[in-house]
């Protein structure tokens, strides 16, 4: 059973194990903020401020980082944006997820996505935007499995790929 929730102070060991599952140049997939040397409690305080929308950097919206726990170990994470800005409306959307490389193809991303939709529903959002690269088959399978309806595909000139933009009903 997977539990999706915010980190607490007692999760430091689980968090550090999850960090070690990722190559250093891909740390964004497990945390946007934590980097070697950052104190864990300072990191938690930053996550809390981001979630409450306090002291956000220019162009950032309130967002909550939720971690997927299975048997007390972190298998992945979901970044949940509470609202969109111009950039997220095109690329990024409300929800971004990642599963540790050694934990893939066990249905964890799908389950985290389902629980993230419930989280956003409780925040008052009935429909959310989710975007994914045309080449990321696993990602768009997850979105379509949860009722995602594609609005369009747009060209991402930085990544040189089409991006699929979907709307998902959070009650699905
Ligand atoms: C994309 C990602 C989150 C999928 O995580 P996962 O836990 O392996 O996904 P799931 O096990 O829930 O699988 C979801 C579906 O995708 C399929 N799938 C998973 N990996 C796949 C792959 N490499 N190729 C094809 N299909 C794949 C599964 O079979 C499943 O389909 P099904 O429901 O029809 O059986 C993971 O590969 C990842 O973290 N990638 C890097 C980060 C990323 O790309 N995030 C998405 C950004 S939009």
Pocket test of ligand 1: the residue of 23, 88, 100, 109 to mutate, having most ligand atoms within 8 Å of its CB, is 109
Give the residues surrounding ligand 1 with Cβ less than 6 Å away.
Answer: 29, 96-99, 104-110, 132, 136-139, 141-142, 145
Pocket test of ligand 1: the residue of 138, 144, 145, 147 to mutate, having most ligand atoms within 8 Å of its CB, is 138
Does this model's pTM top 0.75?
yes
| Gap between the Cα atoms of 46 and 54, Å rounded | 9
Q: For position 27, what pLDDT does the model report?
A: 97
The count of C-alpha atoms lying within 13 angstroms of the C-alpha of 133, restricted to the half-sphere facing its C-beta, is 10
Q: For position 44, what pLDDT does the model report?
A: 98
Q: Is 128 left (phi over 0), alpha (psi -120 to 50) or beta?
A: beta
Instruction: Write the class of the CATH domain 2-126.
Output: alpha beta
Q: For position 132, what pLDDT does the model report?
A: 98
Tell me the CA–centroid distance for residue 103 and ligand 1, in Å: 10
pLDDT by residue, tens only, the chain of 172 residues: 999 999 999 999 999 999 999 999 999 999 999 999 999 999 999 999 999 999 999 999 999 999 999 999 999 999 999 999 999 999 999 999 999 999 999 999 999 999 999 999 999 999 999 999 999 999 999 999 999 999 999 999 998 999 999 999 999 7
Q: For position 172, what pLDDT does the model report?
A: 72
């Amino acid at each position: 059973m997977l539990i999706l929730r915010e980190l607490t102070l007692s999760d430091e060991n689980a968090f550090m194990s999850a960090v070690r599952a990722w190559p250093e140049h891909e740390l964004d997939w497990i945390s946007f903020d934590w980097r070697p040397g950052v104190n864990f409690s300072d990191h938690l305080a930053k996550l809390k401020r981001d979630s409450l929308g306090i002291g956000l950097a220019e162009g950032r919206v309130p967002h909550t980082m939720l971690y997927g726990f299975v048997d007390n170990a972190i298998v992945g994470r979901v970044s949940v944006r509470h609202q969109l800005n111009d950039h997220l409306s095109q690329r990024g959307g409300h929800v971004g997820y990642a599963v540790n490389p050694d934990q893939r193809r066990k249905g964890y991303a799908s389950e985290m996505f389902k629980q993230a939709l419930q989280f956003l529903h409780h925040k008052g959002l009935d429909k959310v935007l989710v975007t994914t690269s045309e080449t990321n088959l696993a990602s768009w399978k997850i979105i379509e499995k949860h009722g995602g309806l594609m609005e369009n595909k747009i060209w991402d000139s930085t990544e040189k790929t089409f991006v699929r933009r979907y709307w998902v009903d959070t009650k699905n």
